[in-house]
Structure 1
């Protein structure tokens, strides 16, 4: 596998810093400082910034500057409505099409998440990363590249909101307790119940977060 290009690394790092709230809504970014920090040219940096703007993570305002975008609650609500249906479809297709190797990878990710969740000092970033990895592997198991890329894009947008809520919530278990059930149905190749489990998972998370959404 080819090594990521410097521009890709900058994109991934900036995206990660915004999603994990290291760069907070309203923070101003200085293009010159970013060029020096990442040791990248202005042209590739601007391409990265424009890409992040299309993902609603940055705002580039002429004569004002580069600003970390606010979290758009209405957009989050719209995306969750879409994800509810598409995640259910992904669960169904994964149960029908998952390979043995993908199933073992899902089990491995879940065990890591479970161990992290049981630790005395929960690492929010690590938990969120394992959760993301689980969902991404599930999307891959659908063997449908279009569905996978669509869900990954929607997931990136809502991930920032999940991080924001996670840091305000001491009890993170509700976000992950459905994953074992999902995994069991996928392993049994029970497509109907795998679909229901994914849909119920989104419903439960939204119910817990309704005070932030509505």
Structure 2
């Protein structure tokens, strides 16, 4: 497999250093612009991004620590694979953590919090044909649930798997385009939080994540059955 040039995006400012390179590469891995299995090397990346090899090396180490790239015995790294078994494990962890956040959000939500959740659902409904916007607003919705719950331990654990969650969320969102499923599921979560019903909020959140996991599995299976 040949190495893709990262020249398709704006080059990070030199003074931003490794963090800017890391964030750019991370976004491209999550979006699929850098596909699973793509080989990344310091010389090619530094030349394409117009930075020295030092920030590239540091960025690749950060991505490796996050599990988004894996080291090759011959040098360089490869974008981590996406597969059904990994997707199931990530979803199982996410479902439990976000289910707990939804439960605890019911105990802390104010009327203003609930109104914000419903506004986000309405925005999602308005842009349901655009996967990038659905993903962005969906992320905001889940972020609001996390903020309302105020559980620092859950938040820290979610951050550790955040890149992996987002990679699989992209696949699921693309299979929902044009449907109202995503909107309906978020609306049900917002309604349960507004009703102060923690049991239903947790169950609805977990069902939503499990539905997304099923969509992800379908997308991964379809990829594997495409003739080469």
Same fold? TM cut 0.5: yes
Distance in 2, matches of 1:143 and 1:174, equals 27
TM-score (norm 1): 0.81
Aligned partner of 2:200 among 193, 198, 202: 193
Aligned to 2:5: none
Aligned to 1:154: 161
Aligned to 2:30: 19
TM-score (norm 2): 0.77
Summarize deviations over 1:143-167 as a string: whole Å, max 9, x none.
1112112123334312212323444
Contact 2:87–2:216, Cα closer than 8 Å, also in 1:
no
Query: RMSD value over aligned CA atoms?
Result: 2.7
Equivalent positions of 1:1-214 (< 5 A) are 5-99=16-110, 102-117=113-128, 122-167=129-174, 170-211=177-218
Question: How many residue pairs are counted as aligned between the two chains?
Answer: 207
Structure 2, unpaired ranges of 5+:
1-14, 222-228
Alignment CA distance shift 1:178-1:156 (3 Å): same
Q: In structure 1, the residue corresponding to 2:184 is in which secondary structure?
A: coil
Of the two structures, which has the highest relative contact order with CA contacts closer than 8 Å and spacing of 6 or more?
1
Distance in 2, matches of 1:212 and 1:174, equals 17
Q: CA deviation at 1:77?
A: 1.0
